[in-house]
Structure 1
Amino acid sequence: MDIVTRPRILVVGAGFAGVGCVRRLERRLAPDEADVTLVTPFSYQLYLPLLPQVASGVLTPQSIALSLRRSKKYRTRIIPGGAIGVDLRSKVCVIRTITDRFVNEPYDYIVLAPGSVTRTFDIPGLVDNAFGMKTLAEAAYIRDHVITQLDLADASQDPAERASRLQFVVVGGGYAGTETAACLQLLTHNAVKRYPRLDPGLIKWHLIDIAPKLMPELGEKLGRSAQEVLRRRGIDISLGTSVAKAGPEEVTFTDGRVIPTHTLIWTAGVVASPLIGTLGAETVRGRLAVTSEMCLPGHDGVFALGDAAAVPDEATGGDAVCPPTAQHAMRQGKVVADNVMATLRGQAMRPYRHKDLGLVVDLGGTDAVSKPLGIELRGLPAQAVARGYHWSALRTNVAKARVLTNWTLNALAGDDFVRTGFQSRRPAKLKDFEYTDRYLTEEQVRAHVAGTEPGSG
């Protein structure tokens, strides 16, 4: 008897793009129409825009880790690991599992949504001494680290050590960096009240960026409003400036200033996952060059989207590419799922076209700036829009309940500023979380698939 095999759809990445695609496939594919497999090292989707609120203790880590198995229709097979190479000719993806075992996973259709990694530069000491803000573990660690600095400063008898532990540097004037600096400054501002031996005036936050403006997408007026909020709180903003050298106890800026500090948080942008470099395909500034339907030209059954793909922005005429935002990734996931199903069924695919709904920036407390549908808002109205947007975008009702409960409890009762210490003896710098050295070269991928590379098979 002949064994009938269903088409195999492999989705790489469980971010906004990958999960959006998988959920749509589950809802609209018949059970016997195709097999869906998802490759991800974690069993949750991280709601990344709210990560600064985890770092500042407003939200608990669990509240923005959305379970992948909560859907009633969930039938997707999950491989716990990361894709480290793809052989497009053989239609095989090489996966390193969380137990460091190599798996060659064949596919008929592949959806590449591996996301992005932190963009770093060849700055001496950066990856060894800076913290990142891309993962749940990093956010939880940074909260512990910041509170630890207050504890150590409070206990120290050395004025120089006390001053250095109370200086904090955030690099990156985009949304991630600005919200991180704003939320963590509020954390230290509130926490220092519990430290009567510490002079609040010693606490100094620095926000620096090489660009001439913070969050230029907000426009002149809102951008200036955001800067005014931060400066009113005492955050030192330095534009046209970056890091020249990073050490364990000091940071040297490109303008020559040396800041004694134990805290350097790096959020200066992202680049596409190194997985894209294993394909040997055309890229646009590191992102995979795809069509408006998010197909890879010259390779049937290969789709790419999200931060890792240069998807033409049809809303602006297709000359530019869609920015790497959650808003685009969520919507691209649905269109890619529809296009995969259309290919399966011999139907026509549709291009991705989406009008930007606007921008929201939560600066903590009652401070925010938002630009929904081009309307400029500040303060409480902007805060309501920002939190309302994030709350509605959470995928599960239990996540919505947790986040709303956290917001309410924090507003009514404040924070206990507890240092858990669960990672206190573990390194947690950029080099410890990105794993960018794990990926294979194009030649190594082919050798693994052929079974000639050590550890393959």
Structure 2
Amino acid sequence: MNTVTRPRILVVGAGFAGVECVRRLERKLSPDEADVTLVTPFAYQLYLPLLPQVASGVLTPQSIAVSLRRSKKYRTRIIPGGAIGVDLKSKVCVIRTITDEIVNEPYDYIVLAPGSITRTFDIPGLTDHAFGMKTLAEAAYIRDHVISQLDLADASQDPVERASRLQFVVVGGGYAGTETAACLQRLTHAAVKRYPRLDPGLIKWHLIDIAPKLMPELGDKLGSSAQEILRRRGIEISLGTSIAKAGPEEVTFTDGRAIPTRTLIWTAGVVASPLIATLGAETVKGRLAVAPEMNLPGDDGVFALGDSAAVPDLAKGEGAMCPPTAQHALRQGKHVADNVIASLRGQVMKPYVHKDLGLVVDLGGTDAVSKPLGIELRGLPAQAVARGYHWSALRTNVAKTRVMTNWLLNAVAGDDFVRTGFQARKAARLKDFEYTDAYLTPEQVRAQVEGAGRPE
């Protein structure tokens, strides 16, 4: 007897793109039309743009982690694990589950939205001594670490050690780095008032970037405004500079300066997930080259979007690629779902087109710069636009309520300086949060799929 099976749609990644795709598939497909499966190590969607506010304690971690299991109406099967390889020929995705088992998951349609990882370079000591700002765990860990530096400096009798613990270095002049430096500087500025033995003048924040401008996407005027705000707060900005080497107690800049510090935060950009390299397909600067419809040319049923895909930006013209922003990922997720459904039903797929709505940068407190629809804003109006945009982009009413409550409580009651203490015994750095060594080579993927043996 022949058994008719439903088409299997596999979505890899639970970021903005992946979750929006899954939710739209659930709304537009009938239950007997296809089976939808989502692969993710964490059963929540993380709102990445607000991570700096978690690190500074303005928001609690659960405020920006939207549970994927909260609603009873969703029918998507969630596989707790990470995709570590894809065999396009056999239509199989290799998954390492959170129990460390390796399983083969067959598919008829696959949507690749694995996101990105922190971009690092071959700089001595970088991955051993730097923190990242890409995951919820990192944001919570950094908050603990920064507050602990104040405690340790207060307890130290050595003026050299005290000075090094009160210097902080952030590498990366993009949105993540700028907002991280701005938010954490406000935290330490407020906290040091509770430490009468510490000289506030010893607290120094350094923001460095190899580029000649801070956040060039904002334009000269707003970029200069952001620099002026940060410098007025006492943050030292060094442009055209990067890190030459990093140690446990000192960071050396490429201009020769050596800064004694116990805190190096690395936010110098992102690169596509290593999963993309396992496909053996054409890439553009590490991102999977896809058509305007976000499908992989020559491979039926393969779609990619978000940070790991080089999606043509038709709104900007020939040769332009969509930037790896939440704004595009949210819309690409919905659009790729429509194209998967169109492919499933034998209909015509449509190209993705979206005109950028603008940029927002929250510098903490009443400081912000924003450029919605090309209109340049500063101060409170910019802050209202920035927070209004982030608030509206949160997917559930529960998340919106938590974030708004946190903002109001912080505005009324101010900061608190509680640390959990979970990082006191064992230090963790950038290499401990992103499992970049977990992925397979294309040859290992083929061996796994063909049953030639478990990859090492």
For normalisation by structure 2, the TM-score amounts to 0.99
Match in the other structure for 2:263: 263
Q: Does 1:206 align with 2:206?
A: yes
Matched, 1:403 2:403: yes
Give CA-to-partner distance per residue, 1:94-129, whole Å, 9 cap, x none. Answer: 000111100100000000000000000000000000
Match of residue 388 from structure 1: 388
In 1, are the aligned partners of 2:360 and 2:372 still within 8 Å (CA)?
yes
Verify: 1:333 aligned to 2:338, yes or no.
no
SS at match of 1:57: coil
Matching residue of 2:113: 113
Q: Which amino acid aligns with 2:268?
A: A
8 Å CA contact retained: 2:54, 2:139: yes
Structure 2 SS opposite 1:11: strand
1:80-229 to 2 correspondence within 5 Å?
A: 80-229=80-229
RMSD: 0.9
CA distance in 2, matches of 1:453, 1:431: 28
**Contact 1:27–1:73 under 8 Å retained in 2:** no
Partner of 1:319: 319
* Partner residue in 2 for 1:372: 372
Q: Distance in 1 between matches of 2:26 and 2:423?
A: 37
Q: Tell me how far 1:422 sits from its aligned partner.
A: 2.2
What is the rounded CA distance, in whole Å, between the counterparts of 2:427 and 2:73 in structure 1? 39
Quote how far apart the aligned CAs of 1:319 are: 1.6
CA contact (8 A) 2:371 2:377 kept: yes
CA distance in 1, matches of 2:347, 2:390: 35
What is the SS of the residue equivalent to 1:264?
strand
2:315 match: secondary structure: helix
**Identity within the alignment, %:** 87
**Cα offsets for 1:177-229 (capped at 9, x unmatched):** 00000000000000001101111000000000000000000000000000000
* Cα displacement (A) at 1:70: 2.7
Which amino acid is the alignment partner of residue 285 of structure 1? K
Provide the residue aligned with 2:32 in structure 1: 32
Distance, in Å, in 1 between the alignment partners of 2:62 and 2:18 is 20
1:425 is displaced (CA, Å) by 2.7
Are the equivalent residues in 1 in contact too, given 2:57–2:416 (CA < 8 A)?
no
1:112-157 superposed Cα distances (whole Å, 9 cap, x missing partner): 0000000000000000000000000000000000000000001111
SS in 2 for 1:360: strand
- Deviation of 1:452 (Å): 1.1
- Give yes or no for the alignment of 1:429 onto 2:429: yes
> Per the alignment, in what secondary structure is the counterpart of residue 401 of structure 1?
helix
Question: For 2:229 and 2:147, how far apart are their aligned partners in 1?
Answer: 23
Q: Once the two structures are superposed, what CA deviation does each residue of 1:307-357 show, in whole Å capped at 9, x if it has no partner? A: 000000000123210000010000000000000000010000000000100
Q: Which residue of 2 aligns with 1:239?
A: 239
Displacement of 1:14 in angstroms is 0.3
Task: Give the C-alpha shift of residue 424 in structure 1.
Answer: 2.8
Of 312-321 and 133-142, the range deviating more from structure 2: 312-321
* Alpha-carbon distance between aligned partners in 2 of 1:314 and 1:416, rounded to the nearest angstrom: 46
The code of the aligned residue for 2:14 comes to A
In the superposition, relative to structure 1, how do residues 397 and 301 fare at CA in structure 2: closer, same or farther (>3 Å)?
same
Query: 1:423 and 1:159, CA in 2 relative to 1: closer, same or farther beyond 3 A?
Result: closer
- Give the aligned residue type for 1:303: F
TM-aligned CA deviation for residue 72 of structure 1: 4.6
Contact 2:444–2:455 (8 Å) recurs in 1: no
Are the equivalent residues in 2 in contact too, given 1:144–1:420 (CA < 8 A)? yes
> Which string of whole-angstrom CA distances, capped at 9 and with x for unpartnered residues, describes residues 284-317 of structure 1?
0000000000010110000000000000000012
Verify the 8 A CA contact 1:444 1:453 in the aligned structure 2.
no
Q: Which residue of 1 aligns with 2:60?
A: 60
CA contact (8 A) 1:391 1:403 kept: yes
Aligned position for 1:351: 351
Query: C-alpha distance in 2, partners of 1:436/1:405?
Result: 36
Q: Give the length in aligned residue pairs.
A: 456
Residue equivalent to 1:360: 360
